[in-house]
Amino acid sequence: MLTLSTILKHYKRPEIQEAIIGYSSDKEVAIKYGENGFGKRPDMLKYPSDILEAAKQGATSFHVSEEIWSNPLQLDPMLKKSELHKLRKGWDLIIDIDCPFLEYSKIAADLVVKALRHHGISSITAKFSGNKGFHIGVPFETFPSQIKTTRVIQTKDYFPDAPRLIANYLRDMIMEPLSDKIYAFEKNDIKKIMEKTGKSFDELIIEKRNAYGDKVKRFDAGAILAIDTILISSRHLYRMPYSFHEKSGLVSIPIDADKILDFDKEMAQPENVSVKFKFLDRNVKQNEAAELFDKAVYANLIKETKKEIKLEEKRDFEEIKAAIPQELFPPCIRKALGGLEDGRKRFLFCVVNFLTSVGWNYGRIEDLLRSWNKKNF
């Protein structure tokens, strides 16, 4: 349990004060006062001495927005969406690894970092949440200023949709290897996972098709661990680095993003905390997350299109035995596959429906659509 002396001793350290103030720039701040909940919103922190003064008034932790604002004090619950867009300068991507079991969280966080590295992103930082999870951060400056979907959108306004799309894309990308690694961590013993999590066999096991098309049963990490963006909607907050977690009494500390597996909770004991790593370092390579952004949006379009397609189970015509080659496609399909400036989403729905009707499987369809997407302008 946190004591007043522990809180004051921690927050009166100059390096802790400077670090917290640095994270609060252009961000909405909310201060938590233990069991009394949060103070006023919106709030800001301006001077290092504000940290200790708040602690003396009973503050236990400091929370900050993922969104970046031109003037956080102008925020109001009654503002319209268009008014929020005018105030918002951007947003940072914060991936939240949420799991009751620290060792599983470490494996998931490590895989998220590796997935981001795979997309050419170097500006990745990480921090321990203060209890059992981790936050992986990518600064707004790494993303392109605009994105093309069915229209051109300012990236700063594509919120909270953009971080949701990216979180879903990364989750889908790592879920299978995550399941394998957690299963291996428990010595391939599903009973150990059942005992640890309190989940039943049926809750932990799903049926999937393997590379050969056969149905197999396998452990699903998604049953015990969530990988999501912290922001469900605008103005949600996350615990600021170097703030206490009231339940654990530990400090939410930035850590080496490439050594998450080496993390130990002892590092987050207040007496062991040092300001060594930075979270959301803004000295970054501009637009290096553009590829991640594009792939996340594209993957979502494919997913939504598949949901819309409903194939008839009963057919009054002979099944196609082999996929029809592109040379036999209707002229309108062939022309559109050469690239489109507008109407891509509508065509995507049409062409996937067409291709599945003429014998193409989803693997070939995805390859064709990836090639087609490069031709769009």
The 3-state secondary structure of the chain reads: CCCHHHHHHHHCCHHHHHHHHHHCCCCCEEEECHHHCECCCCECCCCCHHHHHHHHCCCCEEEEECEEECCHHHCCCCCCHHHHHHHEEEECEEEEEECCCHHHHHHHHHHHHHHHHHCCCCCCEEEECCCCCEEEEECHHHCCCEEECCCEEEHHHCCCHHHHHHHHHHHHHHHHHHHHHHHHHCCCCHHHHHHHHCCCHHHHEEEEECCCCCEEEEECHHHCCEEEECCCCCCCEEECCCCECCCCCCECCEECHHHHHHCCHHHHCHHHCCCCCCCCCCCCCCCCCHHHHHHHHHHHHHHHHHHHCCCCCCCCCCCCCCCCCHHHCCHHHHHHCCCCCCCHHHHHHHHHHHHHHCCCCHHHHHHHHHHHHHHCC
Q: Is 297 within the bounds of a domain? A: no
What is the predicted pLDDT for the residue at 305? Answer: 72
What is the predicted pLDDT for the residue at 312? Answer: 46
Domain count for the chain, please give it.
3
Q: Is 268 within the bounds of a domain? A: no
Check whether residue 126 and residue 222 sit in a common domain.
Answer: yes
Per-residue pLDDT of the chain (377 residues; tens, 9 = 90+): 789 999 999 999 999 999 999 999 999 999 999 999 999 999 989 999 999 999 999 999 999 999 999 999 999 989 998 999 999 999 999 999 989 999 999 999 999 999 999 999 999 999 999 999 999 999 999 999 987 766 788 999 999 889 999 999 999 999 999 999 999 999 999 999 999 999 999 999 998 877 677 788 899 999 999 888 776 667 889 999 999 999 999 999 999 999 999 999 999 999 999 999 999 999 888 889 999 988 898 888 777 776 666 544 445 556 666 788 888 888 889 888 988 888 887 888 888 888 888 888 888 888 888 888 888 86
What is the predicted pLDDT for the residue at 232? Answer: 60
- Distant-in-sequence, close-in-space partners of 86: CB < 8 Å, separation ≥ 6: none
Q: How many whole angstroms separate alpha carbon 361 and alpha carbon 196?
A: 40
Check whether residue 117 and residue 73 sit in a common domain.
Answer: no
Owning domain of residue 12: 4-89+236-248
Check whether residue 60 and residue 135 sit in a common domain.
Answer: no
Check whether residue 288 and residue 345 sit in a common domain.
Answer: no
Q: Is 272 within the bounds of a domain? A: no
Check whether residue 104 and residue 144 sit in a common domain.
Answer: yes
What is the predicted pLDDT for the residue at 77? Answer: 87
Minimal CA–CA distance to 205: which of 189, 220, 215? 220
Q: Is 259 within the bounds of a domain? A: no
Check whether residue 211 and residue 144 sit in a common domain.
Answer: yes
Check whether residue 85 and residue 108 sit in a common domain.
Answer: no
Q: Is 346 within the bounds of a domain? A: yes
Q: Is 118 within the bounds of a domain? A: yes
**Residue with token string 């009654």:** 78
Check whether residue 100 and residue 153 sit in a common domain.
Answer: yes
Instruction: Kindly tell me the sign of the dihedral angle through the C-alpha atoms of 293, 295, 297, 303.
Output: negative
Check whether residue 144 and residue 31 sit in a common domain.
Answer: no
Q: Is 269 within the bounds of a domain? A: no
Check whether residue 338 and residue 321 sit in a common domain.
Answer: yes
Check whether residue 98 and residue 181 sit in a common domain.
Answer: yes
Q: Is 278 within the bounds of a domain? A: no
Check whether residue 143 and residue 224 sit in a common domain.
Answer: yes
What is the predicted pLDDT for the residue at 319? Answer: 60
Cis ω on the peptide bond leading into residue 160 (within 30° of 0)?
yes
Q: How many whole angstroms separate alpha carbon 66 and alpha carbon 27?
A: 8
